[in-house]
Structure 1
Amino acid sequence: MSGTDAVVRRQIVVDAPVERAFAVFTERFGDFKPKEHNLLGSPIVETVFEPKVGGHIYDRSEDGSECAWARILAFEPPDRVVFSWDISPAWQVEQDPDNASEVEVRFVAETPQRTRVELEHRNLDRHGPGWESVRDGVAHDQGWPLYLDRYADLFIDAR
């Protein structure tokens, strides 16, 4: 196993200044996170991204239950955000932070009105036995590519 096997990288370019690209990603995370990606027993009504180090990303369901599945590790507007991926290979919440991978999202201005959004999901092997299923899941078309496509669609709809 090489270290590169435990990393998934994706990127997308949006027609927006870097500040807006960052704000849409963090403030409207629940607008592009697929609601079908659900660890709760009831449908998701909202996904909350708490914009601060020590905050969480969590889902709230119709029945009021909540599932915190990520911790905000770095929050540096408008350049980057880093959060943990506290979801195990069994697609359950991982209780041990040492067994979590992390996602870094960088926002790079290509022009004053275009931003490249670079996502790196790394340290996937920290999930332990079966970690490859996490890698394969987030790399799949229904993983990060789906998130980024739906994120980019938010800019098209705003025109």
Structure 2
Amino acid sequence: MTAPTEPPVTPLRRPPVRQATLVRSDIDHTFEVFVAAIGAWWPVQPFSAGRDQVRDVTFEQRVGGRVYETWQDGTVAVWGELLIWEPPHRFAMTWTGTPAPTEVELTFTALGPALTRVAVEHRGWEALSEAQLAQDCALPGGYTGGAYRDGWATILARLAAAAEAPPS
């Protein structure tokens, strides 16, 4: 009698980009700063299509809603569409800032009354060719060079600073 054979395990070739940060703010405020005030803190230079032309960034806060930037001249550049909308705990969206659409999910976890863990997972890299994975994005190096890892770390740091800032 022969032992059943297990199917071969295929290693994940293109793992998701994962980053997280702690924000000294409650979960509701942290989520609100991310989605409602994103135009004020998001580093549009270099993390947007319009760069210096960006006037605002908008979340249409519902499944199927768009996330988009509006430029000074009224041009709209869509970042993606919301796939999951569960305020203040998480949202997921398509991400069209890559050569082929990928997916971004952010989770917000209350660790205390004024402490929130914000984590991002940027996945779906299988949709990109090897050449596209190596292309520069907002930062040099693309996916294979760690640019998305570094980019999301920068973005989360900006979120933390905005959410922790005292009200003006």
* Residue equivalent to 1:16: 25
Deviation at residue 102 of structure 1 after TM alignment? 0.7
Q: CA RMSD in A?
A: 2.1
Can you give the 5+ residue segments of structure 2 that lack an aligned partner in the other structure? 1-9, 136-141
CA shift in 2, pair 1:155/1:42, >3 Å: closer
Structure label with greater radius of gyration: 2
1:1-159 mapped onto 2 (5 Å cutoff): 2-3=11-12, 5-36=14-45, 37-40=47-50, 43-89=53-99, 99-129=100-130, 130-133=132-135, 134-135=142-143, 136-140=146-150, 143-158=151-166
Which amino acid in the other structure matches residue 25 of structure 2?
A
TM-score, normalisation: structure 2: 0.78
Deviation at residue 87 of structure 1 after TM alignment? 2.0
Question: What do the CA deviations read for 1:98-142 (whole angstroms, capped 9, x no partner)?
Answer: x411111111111122110111111122233413444233212xx
Which amino acid in the other structure matches residue 70 of structure 1?
G
The answer to whether the 8 Å contact 1:13/1:116 transfers is yes
- Number of residue equivalences: 148
Q: Following superposition, which runs of at least 4 residues in structure 1 exceed 6 angstroms of deviation?
A: none
Question: What do the CA deviations read for 1:44-93 (whole angstroms, capped 9, x no partner)?
Answer: 1111111111111111111111101211111101110101111233xxxx
Can you give the 5+ residue segments of structure 1 that lack an aligned partner in the other structure? 90-98
CA shift in 2, pair 1:19/1:4, >3 Å: farther
- The structure that is helix-richer by fraction is 1
TM-score, normalisation: structure 1: 0.82
